[in-house]
Structure 1
């Protein structure tokens, strides 16, 4: 029901969610979650908890986590901070989304800000901006890819979470830049502050430049498409089917929109994506893990919040 994810009026949104999405998608989603569940529980929760502890160890600062959907809620986390540190003057919010999208970064930030504004908190809330082009993030991401591109491979696919094109248009603060030309993401514009498409292309460019990967050896796609609206493309599922016909049989896939492995990386890419690619004639498929608990990633977080 998040209006920043399904951005239609409340009544039709309620009908869509409760009449179609919940009853028809829930059983399928449940089966997918079961396929990636671990003895410790949800990979996303477990990894985020471990990351929280590791950031605290490296920074020496009290560090807490909250979830946009589920527990712990922002209210619970903020209450715990206030109780354990009554004299704290500022809390830094670090969104675990490198790129600005209304359905990820924006909704998470606004959810926390809403809890903060409604509470009796005496401390200020500082929000870390998207860090898609921050050198530490780029280096950490590139270094996780490096061992794989030093081995034999045909192509590296950067698969980002997809969003409807209308989300890009809604985020265009100029009102006349995004998606107006084929090279809009390469033309300087204030719209890039909130343009997910520009930001993922920039991350890709910087990582490829760091690793010195020639342009013909990598590309960008977008996964997790839902519904019949126009989404950013090309779709990951489509290119995985086509690659083997183009002579690409040894494929590497990285998912930079996610900093921790989750359903979209472990099931959609590592299981479904691999199956699609191999059935289409591919020979080897490597899903490169997310940053997860990578030391350089942890140090980047610490740099950004200090």
Structure 2
């Protein structure tokens, strides 16, 4: 049985691919540029673009399971494109990476970010294929964006100071995805993935400073400054969607992002990794 991994060079997809390959599964990596992909030896690599449906049939040929992820404002169309082709090529089960933001607000009050993921989920759940949906909270790895500051003046800047968030380690997301792809009983399930505690950005900075042995200072910046950074990394449309969701979370005063869900423990049989666990494992990234 061949498993296709999309986003195979990314933060979660790369970890899913590596775990499947190490466990001896037949795995195929989908990437837009195979020549630039640095993937484990022995992994089959195919070139395709989820924005171009005609490139997908060969990538899905002989595939029975898929780890599906895409980012930003293209998610709804990219996921729908792959699902539509998967229905025609014999795929049996798709594990889709979504976001906990889908459950943060009701559909009628949706943010662009929530809407993109909600529509992507709908394309899958109404496809007739077996499905599993992973809805992680924010990633602990977002703190890697603070590495330059940690190595420099020691001042970490963020627009979110005191909003508690139960961030999740992408390693845990990948482990849950692998279980869903390789074990029975996960079909038709939606998993909310969080870490074991809710921390504000100020608290995260304190934990990180203790891990790297250097005092870090937190400085709050405006959402507009944050949006400019996001736009440079991910493009205007995606930055607008992320910022709209952030504004709604800050203005609502709701504690949703700080809620703890048991699904990581339920699937993996252990507690989710804490931010301290993550920070101690990534000290070298801040050296």
TM bracket (short chain): 0.3 to 0.5
Larger Rg: 1
Task: Kindly indicate which of the two structures has a greater share of residues assigned to strand.
Answer: 2
Normalising by structure 2, what TM-score?
Answer: 0.37
Higher relative contact order (CA 8 A, sep 6+): 1
Normalising by structure 1, what TM-score?
Answer: 0.35
